[in-house]
Structure formats: structure tokens, C-alpha cells
Structure 1
């Protein structure tokens, strides 16, 4: 027997039951047993019969895979209409019945889900409540990137760079921390993010801005700033320098200490990384001999060879480890450091300018020994 024949047979059976209930209803009315009894009988029996006629529902495990998108702000009714349109459930009535019977129905999350066509409404609801059914897409933005590099990484989502650039022109929509001062550069947290096909450039950037705020609160950057006698923005800038200057993770707190010691001593930071940022380039594209000549790069609030104190803002987007180092620097009197071996990352720290010059010479010798006599 075909599914159509089965459905017709079921409807004939239901109609016979309805006629029987109606006959009882008429008898009750004739016998004068009262309207309430008649209503109660109809309410508990005839209504259920008509519901089974109207609320067509599928049986079985479905026919083919389908993706269902649950959008923000949708009601259960909206979701039911989507399911009917995609032939996931047979009727909105069956869907509403499933929703009414399941107290968890209100916790359906937005996202894209893998379901199947022609499944029972209760099954569809159960699958929409199952996080493993969500279609998850992820994009990773690495630590230490400049803003334009972050945008480049985000284009892996398929969203064009132009859309991110337009979104960045509306920083008030990006959930930035207050101490970002409306500047996204350095305040979009590097991490791995989930997204759906419906997410916009603004949606993704807002995730990053809000994630920065979450991490900042978790690390209590505000409290650390008070303890260190600096601002929250200062900590963000210090962390961004650490991200670009450190080769070995264990050296992060030591580099943080060098930065704070120099600031306290009133010495210019003179970090190559800030100059490269001012130039809008970075090794190996930059030529150090030209970048650091006395006439140097153009005047810039990011050139710490020419300005006192910290640069005007972050020179990269620091990750959690760099922020942790910036709020908890190592103990030491160091004022200088230099990496003397780019293969091992060996970095030497000192509070003596004379010793620092010897360390710089050791680095130059390493460069010569490794085929770069002009300097690395």
C-alpha cells in the first residue's frame, strides 16, 4: 500500500470515530445531561481527533540531508514555517505540538543545523536542540598581526576585505573596550572564531572586539594598571610590543620589565618593531640600514627612536600570553636586550649599555656567519 493510500485509510478511520462521537454528543443533548458534559466530552475526544486530522506528521528517519538556518530573533512559529518550507516537518501544527510538549524548546540557538527532510516534528525539535547538529565554520586570526593582516586572515570566511574595511569605519559597532579609544587596531582579539554563512563583517569584528573585553576583564587589566601605575591602554601597547619583539615565550615577562624600566628611567624605547610599524612594513621587506638612518623613517608617533615613552597605540594585536606578561613583568634591572641567534631565539638582557653593545656585536657576528654580512 502506498503512503497516499495509507493516509486515506487513516483519515477514513478517523472520520468514523468522529461520527461516533457526534452521535454521542447528540444523545447527550437530547437526554438533557447538560452543556458542560457535552463540552467536556467534545473537548477531550473530538478535538483530539480533529487535531490528528490537521496535524499531519512524518514518520521514520527522513529522506535526505538538509541545512536549516535559525536566525536571531526567530520565534518557534517562524522556525516551524521554515521547517515546513524545507519539507523537514509535515505541518506547522505538528511542529507546534512538539514544541508544546518539550519544555526545552525555547532554548534553540541561532545557527545552521544539519537535519533531514520528512522527519517527525519531535525529532526535528530534538535535533535543533542538539549542539552537535550545528554546522560550525571556524576562522583563526593569529597573534601579533597588524590590523590589515587581521583583515586578510578574516577573508578566509569568504567575506571580501572591502566589507571588513567598511565595518572598521564604524568602530562604535564593534564592541571595543573603552581604552581602545575608538581605534580597532590592536584591540580585536586574536583567536579562533565560529561563524555562519549569515554572519557579516561587522558580526565577526564585533566577536573579536567583545572577546578582547572578556579577556581584559578575566585578566583584571584595570587592577594591574593601578598596581603598575600605568593605564589600561599602556598595558595593551606594551603587550603589542612584546608580541613583536619576543622569540622565546619565557622571555615575554623580561621584555615587559625592560619596557617598564626604560619608561621609568625616562629612556626612549628605541624598538625596531615600532619603526617598522611606522614605515608600514616589516622584515624581510624593510632594509634596516635605511630604516634606522639618522634621517630615519618619517616623523611618526610610533617611532620610538624619535618620541619619548610608548608609541601612540598598539603595533599589533596581542594575544593572552603577551597581555599576561604585560600585567606581570619579571623582576629585574634590565634596560637592554637583543636576540643574538635568530635560529635558537637566544636573547641576552642587561642593565649595562657597554655589555649591550657587546651583545649587539655578537648578533652582528651571527649574521655574518649565517650569510648576511650587511646585518640581519
Structure 2
């Protein structure tokens, strides 16, 4: 039977020849026609390279974190554990020294095991600017943290220089010049006699000799001014120079605190009466000055008559200046002397003095002292002539009665 072909809406025959019309499925409708290129797809190889790279980066970050953690752990452990120095030592930090320099010096001295760990530890504790200059005593096996805390505390090793009462300025300068912990040169000129305080100064290594001298002279000036203002009103002394001069003579005459004010009273009584002071230490200063009498040089009778500006056996009144540096006690004794009529004193052989108001009493005291001297000399000569006797063996101990 003849049939007429049916056209679709576009005029094209959608039926297969000799068959019924079959509609297209959804997938077939979406499928590209032959000759149309497929959409681009990322290859499996490309995807695997990205994943490998990401895995590598994650692993690297983890390894860095683990490494950093281990470094912090072992660094902190090293920072707080016992140090390598078995004996300890002193360590000097000079002013304006940075943490890096301190760390390197500590490692070179064998006081720490690793300068880098010390430096990082100090910074971790935020003590970069807290370490203080000074000399420190590092204890045996001190840890890095112990050393950091010590340098932060500023508790450095201290030294002392002592100027005893009765030293001259020259002798005081010798002590300061010879102190190994002090630095710097001495002044070219000596200050006036009596102008150095008799005191003990404490300091840390690095202090200068001129600093010590400046402190001692300032302290003596303030002390003299303070005591001079508190003096009794009837002292026969014109000014501070005469005040210090007499105090220096009292200082050289006795070291006993219970006699200073009485000896000061004797000299002041003699000044009031116009009598010469006749003080033996002024003879010595007039002959030898601030350097002092050599230990092997005796005082001769002829020395008493040698005229010098300081020899109070040959001059009237006080010498032109002090003969030593007086201490506070001697200055106080002159400013507030004992009220007596004593005009004389002489050694009594016991370390003290015998006082007298008249020349007759004084001569008796002198005679007693000379007799004591002769007795001492005789006993010493006898001891030299006698042969040495061996000490007897100790008797064996016997048990005591119950």
C-alpha cells in the first residue's frame, strides 16, 4: 500500500525508512553530534602531581613544627640544666656589653655549653636589656638560667679599700694605688695632709682610683665641717685647719678611745698657757714627712732638738698643718675635750698613759716608765742568754675516780 511520507515540523523525515517514528531519549538529546569535540578534562596525571605537592608541603610543615618543638624542648632543657664548670669562676660584665658578647665570653670561659642557647634563652625571658654590668661570682655547675638571673640581679662581687686612722695622705695613696681591683691613674698631686677620710669604701671591679679619692676627700670635708660646727665655744683654735692639725696629733699619740678626749684636753690646756706641745709624732713628721719613719730607724735624742716647721719641741703653738688623717673619734675629742687641769702625760707601759697636772708628778711618772723599760730590757736579755729547755712530756692520763 502506498503511503505518503510525513515530514516533521522542520520538513525533515524523522521516521526511519520503513519504520515507525521513535522519539529521542534525554541522554540522546544531550549527546553531542558526531564531529563536535568533547569538553576538556584534567588528566589523572595532573591531579596526582598536585596531591603529591600538597602532601609534601603538609609533611614539611609538620616536620618543621616537630623540629621546632624538639629544638625548644632541648634548648630549654640545656638552658636550665647544670652547667659545665666544675669549679665556678668570677665573670666581669663591662658597661654597654650586649647579650651576644656576654654569651660568647661565657662560652669561651667554659661557664656555659652553648652561647646561642644562652642568647636565645635570655631573649625568650625578655631580659635582653636587663643584664647589668659588674663582676659576678659564678657558682660551680651554675645553669644558664642561674647565670642569667645573677647578671640580672646586679649582685656583683664587692671589694674594699680601708684607710685606717693615723695614716698620712701619702700612705693612704699607696693603699689605693696598689689595690688590684681598682682601675685608672692616681692624681698627679697629693691633696693636703689630713684631707682623706679614715674609712672603708666598698666598690665593684672597674671603679677608678680617682673615684675612691674623690669620695674620701668629700667625706672628710663633710665630717670636719659637721664636727667643727658642734665644737665647744672656748677652744683656742683659729680655724678648721688648726682643728684638724690638733686632731691629727691626738690621733698619733694614742689609739685608746678612753684617752683621746683627755689627751686633747692636755694639749688645749698647754695652748692656753702658751706652753709648747712637745709631741713626739711631730718630730717624726718633721723629719720624714708623709712617707713616715723607716721601721729600722730609731729616734735619737738629737732628733728632739732638730728644728723643723712641725717639731713642737722647737716651735710654739701648732704646726702649720696636720701630720696625719684623723678619724672621727679624734676630731670629736678635740671638739669636745675633757675638762681637766692636766698638762702632762707619758706612757705607762700598759698601752695607756699616766697623766699629771704638775711637772713634779710628771717626772715621777716618767721615772716609773723608765724603770719599767729597764725591767723589760733586762728580762729580754736574760731570756736570750738562757738555753732553750725542751718541754716535758705529758704524763699519761689516768682514769678518774667515779
Instruction: Give the TM interval when normalised to the shorter protein.
Output: 0.5 to 0.7
Q: How does 1:162-177 map to 2 (within 5 A)?
A: 167-170=186-189
Residue number in structure 2 paired with 1:256: 264
| Between structures 1 and 2, the one with greater helix share | 1
Query: What SS does structure 1 have at the residue aligned with 2:198?
Result: coil
Q: 2:321 aligns with which of 313, 318, 330?
A: 313
Contact 1:144 1:240 in 2 (8 A): yes
Whole-angstrom CA distance in 2 between matches of 1:306 and 1:360: 21
Q: CA RMSD in A?
A: 4.0
Q: For the residues of structure 2 that align with 1:99 and 1:308, how far apart are their CA atoms?
A: 71
1:286 counterpart (298, 302, 314): 298
| CA distance in structure 1 between the aligned counterparts of 2:207 and 2:287, rounded to whole angstroms | 34
Tell me the SS of whatever aligns to 2:371: helix
**Structure 2: 5+ residue runs without aligned partners?**
1-59, 379-402
| Match of residue 84, structure 2, among 63, 67, 78 | 63
Alignment match of 1:245 (pick from 243, 249, 253)? 253
1:364 maps to 370
Distance in 2 (CA, whole Å) between partners of 1:101 and 1:283 is 55
The Cα shift of 1:251 comes to: 0.8
Q: 1:212 to 1:370 in 2, by over 3 A?
A: same
Deviation digits for residues 134-179 of structure 1 (CA, Å, limit 9, x no counterpart) = 333334443222334334444653489xx99x724345xxxxxxxx
Give the conservation status (yes or no) of the 8 Å contact 2:232–2:336. Answer: no
1:157 to 175, 179, 182: 179
TM-score (norm 1): 0.64
Corresponding residue SS for 1:304: coil
Contact 1:253–1:329 (8 Å) recurs in 2 = yes
Q: TM-score under structure 2 normalisation?
A: 0.60
CA contact (8 A) 1:240 1:317 kept: yes
Give the match for residue 46 of structure 2.
Answer: none
Q: Secondary structure at the match of 1:369?
A: helix
Contact 1:274–1:304 at 8 Å: present in 2 too?
A: yes
Shift in Å at residue 119 of structure 1? 4.2
Of 125, 128, 138, the residue aligned with 2:151 is 128
Distance in 2 separating the partners of 1:356 and 1:315 = 26
Larger Rg: 2
Partner Cα separation in structure 1 for residue 272 and residue 295 of structure 2: 30
